[in-house]
Amino acid sequence: DIQLTQSPSSLSASVGDTVTITCRASRTISDYLNWYQHTPGKAPKLLIYAASNLQRGVPSRFSGSRSGTDFTLTISTLQPEDFATYYCQQSYSSPRTFGQGIMVQI
C-alpha cells in the first residue's frame, strides 16, 4: 500500500496568515493526489484534485502543487472558516490511502 505522510504534525495560525501543508508519498504517484477539508460534524469536502486542480466552487485562496513525491496545499489569507483538518489522499492505485490529517488551529 502507498503511505502518505503529512507535515507539520500540528499547525497554529491566525486569520490572514498563509499556511502550507505537505504530503509525502512513499513512492511515485505521479499527480494522483487529492486534498480534502474536514470540519467536525460535517462531511469532508474536496478542495484540490490531481495535485493542483481546484475543485469547482472552492475559493481560489486554496492551491496545490507537486514536486516529485512531495505535494503541498497552500491556503492564502486564512479565513475563520478554514480552521479545520486537512487530508491528502492518493488515487494512483488501490487500495486508496489517506494521510493522517493536519489540524489547522487558531
Partner 1 sequence: QVQLQESGPGLVKPSQTLSLTCTVSGGSITSGGYYWTWIRQHPGKGLEWIGYIHYSGSAYYSSSLKSRVAMSVDTSENQFSLKLESVTAADTAVYYCARDYYDSSGYYRIDNWGQGTLVTVSS
- Closer residue to partner 1, CB minimum distance, 13 or 58: 58
Residue from 5, 15, 96, 105 that binds partner 1 (CB under 8 A)?
Answer: 96
DSSP string, 10-77: -EE--TT--EEEEEEESS--TT-EEEEEE-TTS--EEEEETTTEEPTTS-TTEEEEEETTEEEEEE-S
Per CB under 8 A, 71 contacts partner 1: no
Of 7-15, 18-26, 68-76, 89-97: span binding partner 1 (CB under 8 A): 89-97
Of 7-15, 16-24, 66-74, 81-89: span binding partner 1 (CB under 8 A): 81-89
We find the least distance from the C-beta atom of residue 29 to partner 1, in angstroms, to be: 12
Take residue 35 and report the three cell numbers written for it. 486534498
Apex 44 CA angle, 52 and 84, nearest 5:
85
User: Hey, what amino acid is at 15?
Assistant: V
Per CB under 8 A, 87 contacts partner 1: yes
Of 8-16, 36-44, 66-74, 75-83: span binding partner 1 (CB under 8 A): 36-44
